[in-house]
Amino acid sequence: MLTGKQKRFLRSKAHHLTPIFQVGKGGVNDNMIMQISEALEARELLKISVLQNCEEDRDTVAEKLSHGCRAELVQVIGNTIVLYKESKENKEIKLP
């Protein structure tokens, strides 16, 4: 579980990132979870945008993704979800 301080730290690191995944009409599926898990392993921190045509609300999407990827939900802001997961192979982010 992340502390408030760690979440603030991760939010500041995520600020300049651009979303690399989009959740649209289809919602969250296994294939997407697999791809996001792989991307998290490579990058540790990423943004996902929830498109207007997504049938699930962003909190549901965030919950499904963080649960499916076993990642920490850093924040949901606007239609953007920020996820963090410590990388096994290439750990770069040092949490305070």
Token pair belonging to 26? 């289809």
Residue 75 lies in a domain: yes
Residue 48 lies in a domain: yes
Note the pLDDT of residue 30.
94
Number of domains making up the chain: 1
Residue 34 lies in a domain: yes
The whole-model pTM stands at: 0.93
Residue 92 lies in a domain: no
Looking at residue 60, its amino acid is T
Residue 25 lies in a domain: yes
Q: The domain spanning residue 61 has which CATH number?
A: 3.30.110.60
CB 92 within 8 A of CB 13: no
Please tell me which residue, 70 or 92, carries the higher pLDDT value. 70
Residue 37 lies in a domain: yes
CA distance 74 to 17: 14
Domain range for residue 73? 4-84
Note the pLDDT of residue 92.
87
Residue 73 lies in a domain: yes
Residue 20 lies in a domain: yes
Dihedrals phi, psi of 29, to nearest 5 degrees: -130, 170
